[in-house]
Homo-oligomer: A and B are copies of this chain.
Amino acid sequence: MSITSPPWAISLDAASALPVYMQVAQGLEQRIHTGELRQGSALPAERELAAHLHVSRVTVRQALALLAQQGLLTRKHGSGTFITPPTPEERPSRTLGLLSSFSEDVRSRGQTPGARVLSFEDARPTAQEVMSLALSPGERVYRVRRLRTSDGEALAVEDSTLPAALVGKLSQEDVTDASLYALLGGRGLQPVRAIRHLRAVSADLKLAELLRVLPGAALLATERVSWTGGGRPVEYARAHYRGDRYDFVMELHGEGE
């Protein structure tokens, strides 16, 4: 009588230079990509996997942690480990090249944008802020940290810094709505130009908690300085977007290499 191997059976080579946890991770990853393990289905319990593979539970967990961080697996405390189903929804995209807003991007995907003010302060600027906003010594700034959401799900954390002398008196109530640009526009400080930097970083504990992702998850980090028509810097903004739920798009023109 022949027994069919379960789809998660992985051959381990003790003599291999590759650590066992990486062999387990690669084996599972391959079976997910080839479709042998159906998306949405549950993996065996960690203790069960460990027993069948003849490795310790710690080693199994090390492998699963790698795949969970890449988004291939979704772990649910008290419930089980599941193969992440394909994302059916369109992910919001920010179109670069235009000074479009987060709210517009989310709305253009048929979802409802939201914002929650996490903190608001009147503070002395950091060296970075002095540079970016071309501040005079002793000038003060307003600093706002907001959580940006789409259909109630956290998508990004935005930290904005505004020169107090330029924008005039502000209170927390002024920034509770989603639009900082609208507020600036109302004071004759509509930004018309901006420079934006983009890079990838790992989520620290604070950002991971706010965005409901695993610590270490990949985030898209941006820094932006905006100028008014008069050429005065009015906003310095740093934002961290969930890498798995947000997408920047842009069109490029001109001569290539």
Task: Point out residues on A near B: beta carbons under 8 Å.
Answer: 22, 25-26, 29, 66, 69-71, 93, 96-104, 179-182, 184-185, 190-202, 204-205, 215-221, 226, 241, 243-244, 246-257
Contact = CB atoms under 8 A, between A and B. Distances in A.
A251 B252 CA distance: 12
Contact of A219 (B103, B218, B254, B256): B218
B216 A200 contact: no
Highest count of chain B CB atoms <10 Å: which of A102, A180, A196: A196
What 6 pairs between A and B have smallest CB-CB spacing? A101-B257, A200-B243, A181-B256, A200-B218, A181-B257, A200-B200
A220 B205 contact: no
Contacts of A221: 200
A206 to B, nearest CB: 9
A137 to B, nearest CB: 22
Q: Is the interface of A mostly helix, strand, loop or mixed?
A: mixed
A184 B246 CA distance: 32
A181 B101 CA distance: 33
21 contacts: A26-B205, A69-B202, A97-B250, A99-B252, A99-B253, A99-B256, A103-B257, A181-B256, A181-B257, A184-B256, A193-B252, A194-B252, A195-B249, A195-B252, A198-B198, A198-B220, A199-B248, A200-B241, A201-B243, A202-B243, A218-B219
A10 to B, nearest CB: 14
A205 B254 CA distance: 36
Contact of A193 (B99, B205, B251): B251
Contacts of A219: 200, 218
Given A96-B97, A198-B247, A250-B250, 15 more contacts: A22-B215, A29-B205, A98-B252, A99-B252, A191-B256, A192-B255, A192-B256, A195-B249, A195-B251, A197-B247, A199-B248, A200-B220, A201-B244, A216-B216, A218-B218
